[in-house]
């Protein structure tokens, strides 16, 4: 025990001043009487702040600690004590000390030794031991677990339960929403991850350590979360969960990057060794993920191969003919069930046979040459009788294709029973002969009918025109010579007779033209449709004199067909457009072509009177008209001629219109290949 007389001695006081251990003396009023230099270092404040002041005033809250209670026992009951304890300083730091207290006459003498580094090393060793244990369990889980989610769950659980972390989670990027989404988590007791959002963009949530680990593919450590500016947005949640340190480690696997994130409850938890161990764990998880991918690919390939084998076998068995597969030596490797059923040989018998064993001697040279052709040129085919076990010969068509199997050239092929085909071919030959005879007879009948029709057309043209010319001629003479002598009604009646005669002549001409279109042969030449349309415009031009008519001829695609007949189509359609725009102050006619359902469609568009689409079905009928004669002249045959010509070219013709707003007529010429 230190005596007062000893403290007053200069030599003893000097010894205390120079001790490495902290020396402090408190009197019975808890006031500091003495502190040496080492005590100032331990207290982390100058001795002048403490001397003469009560301990409780110098260290707020210390009177609630176990240290204070034991010093009180030493003062009141004069009991010495020896203890290791931690001391929390006002700046938040913590120190560990070995404290010995001895009663002295002045009060109590305190001797302190700073053991903070020893405790830190002990704790560090304990942390590393737990981390090593956790890493070992992670590696065992990688060996044992065969799916991604279960591994993630186990890794997070292990780092919390075995490494002493407060929380661990594994996140993976959601590229669409630019977020990192937890794939597995353990230790999130208060919903921390539900309250935060970690992003991969340039927002504030995208600059936190986890985001940086993802973007830079480098570990990111924050050993004081309460001092990290980017985490201030979640400060309340961090305090609520008791987090002080965190670290994020990238998991690089198969071209994608995830993160392993760990949280500790103490400051400065993640030092170099801890970071190295956690990085190793992330690398091991990445390696496991790559193995999972490889295993999934292997299984997918195996399943695909199995499906292909089942499909190939099903295809072979479902084929109606025979399928065979054999080596160049002639050894059969595979065949379908039909081979056995049709040949009559068993599976064991076919396995011992040569392909030529299924043919007569007379056919073996042919079959041998075709087989050799496959191995020399890659493929071949032949018709030959297939001999069954019973000796029956079946007409078959055989094919062969060269393939490589397990490094060896082999032949795969099929055999099809062509008995029905042979019978069908013979029947076709017989029918073709009969058909040719019937065509010859029918052609002769058609030729005779055409001759009769020609004779009829000539008769109509000659026999009807002669009296018609007489009627028209005499009516014209009477009107010219005796018109002034006739009463008004008589003159009008005679004029109507003459006009009707002219119209009947036009009608006879149109009917003969319509009839001739069915008999004339078609040529199939390449036609410059633009020039053909222009020639029709030039012929019709006199009909536009004295009117304001704008005819636009746009670029028109070439066509194939009979130029003479197609010129008649242009004449009729353009002529109609000129006629039915007669009442327009400024008539507009547009002629062109464009693609329509994969074919070239030619069109003539006008701004004339148009028509009601309800009557469009009558447009192309003979003698069908949608307007009265006193409105627009015509015989009702022009559009029928157009339709006949277009149909003979394999095309279509149609119209679209609206009353008072004009009409557009379309036609196609069908496909060139079909017409040829």
Give the pLDDT confidence score for residue 217 in this predicted structure. Answer: 87
pLDDT at position 46, please?
92
Co-location of 397 and 442 in the same domain: no
Contact 666, 655 (CB under 8 A): yes
Average pLDDT, the chain: 83
Query: Beta 408-417 vs 94-104: how paired, if at all?
Result: unpaired
Report pLDDT for 623.
Answer: 58
Q: Both tokens of residue 462?
A: 């000659």
Q: Which two tokens stand for residue 21?
A: 């251990």
- Whether 326 and 287 map to the same domain: the answer is no
CATH code of the domain containing 196:
3.30.450.40
Kindly state the DSSP code that residue 87 receives in the 8-state scheme. E
Q: How confident is the model over 505-540, as pLDDT tens digits?
A: 555 665 566 556 555 667 788 999 899 999 889 988
Q: Are residues 444 and 337 in the same domain?
A: no
579 domain residue, yes or no: yes
Residue 42 burial class via C-beta count within 10 angstroms: exposed 0-12, middle 13-18, buried 19 and up: buried
If asked whether residues 248 and 187 sit together in one domain, one would say: yes
> Please, are residues 213 and 201 in contact by the beta-carbon 8 Å criterion?
no
In this prediction, residue 563 carries a pLDDT of 84
The verdict on residue 309 lying in a domain is no
In a domain, 447, yes or no: yes
Q: Kindly state whether residue 310 falls inside one of the protein's structural domains.
A: no
Residue 54 and residue 163 in one domain: no
Q: Among 83, 114, 145, where does a domain finish?
A: 114
CB of 601 closer than 8 Å to CB of 666 = yes
Which of these three, 98, 114, 130, is where a domain ends?
Answer: 114
Are residues 447 and 587 part of one domain?
A: no
Positions in the chain short of pLDDT 70: 1-11, 443, 445-470, 472-475, 482-483, 492-496, 498-521, 621-636, 671-676
Structure tokens at 670: 């069908």
pTM score of the predicted model: 0.44
Whether 339 and 390 share a structural domain: yes
Q: Which of 114, 129, 160 is the last residue of a domain?
A: 114
Give the whole-angstrom CA distance, residue 441 versus residue 460.
Answer: 28
What residues make up the domain containing 440? Answer: 422-514
Q: What is the pLDDT of residues 8-48, one digit of tens each?
A: 566 677 888 888 889 999 999 999 999 999 888 988 889 99
Query: 378 and 453 share a domain?
Result: no
Q: What is the CATH number of the domain that holds 20?
A: 3.30.450.20
Dig out the tokens for 196 from the structure. 């935060």
231 and 133 share one domain:
yes
Residue 639 resides in a domain: yes
Burial class (CB in 10 A: 0-12, 13-18, 19+), 636: middle
Helix or strand or coil: residue 442? helix
Q: Are residues 602 and 627 in the same domain?
A: yes
Phi, psi of 538 (to 5 degrees): -60, -40
Q: Are 392 and 419 in contact (CB under 8 A)?
A: no
Would you say residue 143 lies in a domain? yes
Tokens coding 127: 């942390």
Would you state the pLDDT for residue 675? 46
CA–CA distance, 146 with 292 (Å, rounded to integer):
7
Q: Could you read off the pLDDT of 573-614 as tens digits, one per residue?
A: 898 888 888 888 888 999 999 988 888 999 999 988 888 887
Domains in the chain, number:
5
| 607 in the same domain as 637 | yes
User: What is the structure's pLDDT at 5?
Assistant: 43
Phi first, then psi, for residue 599 (nearest 5°) are -130, 160
Q: Please indicate, yes or no, if residue 304 is contained in any of the structural domains.
A: no
Residues 283 and 203 in one domain: yes
**Is residue 311 included in any domain, yes or no?**
no
């Amino acid at each position: 025990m230190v005596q007062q007389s000893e403290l007053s001695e200069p030599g003893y006081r000097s010894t205390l001043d120079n001790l490495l251990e902290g020396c402090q003396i408190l009197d019975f009023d808890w006031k500091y009487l003495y502190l040496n230099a080492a005590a100032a270092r331990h207290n982390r404040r100058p001795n002048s702040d403490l001397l003469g002041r009560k301990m409780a005033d110098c260290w707020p809250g210390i009177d609630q600690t176990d240290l204070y209670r034991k010093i009180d026992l030493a003062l009141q009951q004069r009991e010495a004590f020896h203890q290791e304890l931690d001391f929390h300083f006002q700046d938040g730091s913590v120190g560990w000390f070995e404290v010995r207290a001895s009663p002295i006459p002045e009060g109590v003498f305190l001797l302190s030794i700073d053991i903070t580094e020893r405790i830190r090393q002990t704790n560090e060793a304990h942390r590393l031991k737990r981390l090593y244990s956790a890493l070992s369990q992670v590696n065992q889980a990688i060996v044992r677990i065969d799916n991604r989610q279960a591994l993630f769950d186990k890794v997070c659980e292990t780092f919390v339960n075995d490494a002493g972390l407060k929380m661990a989670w594994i996140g993976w990027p959601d590229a669409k929403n630019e977020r990192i989404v937890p794939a597995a988590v353990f230790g999130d007791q208060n919903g921390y991850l539900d309250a935060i959002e970690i992003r991969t963009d340039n927002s504030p949530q995208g600059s936190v350590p986890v985001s940086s680990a993802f973007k830079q593919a480098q570990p990111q450590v924050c050993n004081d979360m309460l001092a990290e500016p980017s985490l201030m947005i979640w400060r309340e949640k961090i305090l609520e969960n008791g987090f002080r340190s965190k670290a994020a480690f990238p998991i690089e696997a198969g071209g994608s990057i995830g993160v392993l994130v760990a949280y500790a409850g103490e400051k400065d938890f993640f030092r170099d060794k801890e970071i190295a161990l956690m990085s190793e764990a992330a690398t091991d998880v990445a390696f496991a993920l790559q193995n999972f991918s490889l295993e999934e690919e292997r299984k997918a390939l195996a399943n695909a191969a199995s499906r292909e084998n089942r499909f190939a076998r099903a295809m072979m068995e479902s084929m109606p003919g025979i399928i065979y597969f054999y080596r160049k030596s002639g050894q059969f490797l595979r065949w379908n069930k039909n081979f056995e059923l049709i040949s009559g040989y068993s599976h064991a018998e076919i396995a011992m046979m040569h392909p030529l064993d299924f043919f007569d001697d007379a056919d073996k040279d042919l079959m041998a040459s075709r087989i050799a052709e496959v191995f020399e040129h890659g493929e071949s085919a032949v018709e030959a009788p297939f001999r069954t076990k019973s000796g029956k010969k079946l007409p078959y068509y055989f094919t062969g294709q060269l393939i490589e199997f397990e490094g060896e050239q082999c032949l795969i092929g099929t055999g099809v029973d062509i008995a029905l085909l042979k019978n069908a071919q013979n029947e076709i030959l017989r029918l073709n002969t009969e058909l040719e005879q019937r065509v010859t007879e029918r052609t002769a009948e058609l030729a005779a009918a055409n001759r009769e029709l020609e004779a009829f057309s000539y008769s109509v043209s000659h026999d009807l025109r002669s009296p018609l010319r007489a009627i028209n001629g005499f009516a014209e003479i009477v009107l010219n010579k005796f018109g002034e002598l006739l009463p008004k009604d008589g003159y009008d009646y005679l004029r109507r007779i003459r006009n009707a005669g002219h119209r009947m002549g036009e009608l006879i001409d149109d009917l003969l033209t319509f009839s001739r279109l069915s008999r004339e042969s078609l040529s199939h030449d390449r036609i410059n449709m633009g020039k053909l349309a222009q020639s029709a415009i030039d012929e019709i031009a006199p009909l536009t004199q004295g009117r304001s008519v704008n005819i636009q001829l746009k670029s028109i695609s070439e066509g194939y067909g009979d130029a003479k007949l197609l010129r008649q189509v242009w004449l009729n359609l353009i002529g109609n457009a000129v006629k039915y725009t007669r009442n327009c102050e400024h008539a507009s006619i547009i002629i062109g072509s464009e693609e329509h359902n994969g074919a070239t469609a030619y069109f003539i568009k006008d701004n004339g009177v148009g028509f009601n689409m309800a009557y469009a079905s009558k447009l192309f009928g003979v003698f069908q008209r949608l307007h009265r004669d006193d409105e627009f002249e015509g015989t009702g045959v022009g559009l029928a001629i157009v339709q006949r010509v277009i149909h003979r070219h394999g095309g279509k013709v149609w119209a679209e219109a609206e009353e008072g707003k004009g009409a557009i007529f379309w036609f196609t010429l069908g496909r060139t290949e079909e017409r040829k």
